[in-house]
């Protein structure tokens, strides 16, 4: 091989290495939504609470016997529901062994005796999916999960759209989905 062919080969290899796309950095997309309603009436014996939403809509709910401290709830208090969800994603390094498991964890906490009623619930699911296709124009990704189900998801978050645009058929992606909900009763002045 003469030196000009060797130089062309080295230059082509360097260009190919420089042009190769590196895997996208892991992402985490989070969202929190808060909804509140004003307590209008409380019937402790029947375990009923009447609520008025921010747009004037009204509802009466029956409170489970598992809810502690219902007698602490007063007219004018705010029932506040906060819902949190996040999705973390990272491309598995090439050559990693395939994973066909789904790991799940969940937990719950109730308000202590004597405090205003409240509860927090949460769960986290982790699995590895295999990318089937990506449509960069519609920001949709098709993937197969460890259970064999194929799903198509439209990605709306701009940060996640950038991540999805780097994916190719056959890529394995570790996903962690977390969701949590906290329900609390707060004095009118404390609620936001």
Q: Give per-residue pLDDT as tens, 139-148.
A: 999 999 998 8
> Tens of pLDDT along 73-112?
999 999 999 999 999 999 998 878 877 888 999 999 988 8
Is residue 12 very low, low, confident or very high in pLDDT (cuts 50, 70, 90)?
very low
Which of 182, 184, 187 minimizes the C-alpha distance to 77? 187
Q: Give pTM, 2 decimals.
A: 0.70
Strand partners, 87: 29, 177
Q: Rounded to whole angstroms, how far apart are CA atoms 40 and 60?
A: 9
- Mean pLDDT score of the chain: 85
Gap between the Cα atoms of 48 and 94, Å rounded: 57
Q: DSSP character for 23?
A: P
Residues near 122 by Cβ (< 8 Å), separated by ≥ 6? 106, 107, 108, 178, 179, 180, 181
Tokens, residue 108: 């719950």
Residue 154 CA: distances (Å) to CA of 34, 87, 138, 139? 24, 14, 7, 6
Got the DSSP string for 96-148? Answer: PPP---EEEEEEEEEPPTTSPPEEEEEEEEEEEEEEEEEETTTTEEEEE-TTS
- Calpha distance 121→106 (Å, rounded): 8
């Amino acid at each position: 091989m003469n030196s000009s062919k060797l130089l062309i080969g080295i230059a082509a290899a360097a260009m190919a290495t420089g042009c190769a796309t590196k895997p996208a950095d892991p992402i985490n997309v989070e969202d929190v939504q808060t909804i509140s309603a004003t307590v209008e009436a409380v019937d402790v014996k029947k375990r009923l609470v009447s609520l008025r939403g921010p747009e004037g809509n009204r509802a009466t709910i029956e409170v489970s016997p598992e809810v502690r401290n219902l007698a602490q709830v007063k007219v004018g208090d705010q029932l506040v529901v906060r819902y949190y969800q996040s999705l973390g994603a990272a491309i598995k390094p090439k050559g990693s062994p395939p994973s066909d498991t789904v790991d799940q964890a969940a937990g719950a906490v109730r308000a202590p005796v004597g405090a205003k009623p409240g509860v927090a619930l949460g769960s986290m699911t982790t699995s590895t999916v295999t990318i089937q296709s990506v449509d960069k124009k519609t920001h949709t990704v098709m993937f197969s999960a460890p259970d064999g189900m194929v799903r198509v998801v439209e990605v709306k978050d701009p940060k996640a759209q950038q991540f999805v645009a780097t994916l190719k058929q056959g890529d394995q992606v570790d996903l962690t989905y977390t969701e949590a909900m906290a329900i609390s009763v707060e004095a009118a002045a404390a609620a936001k």
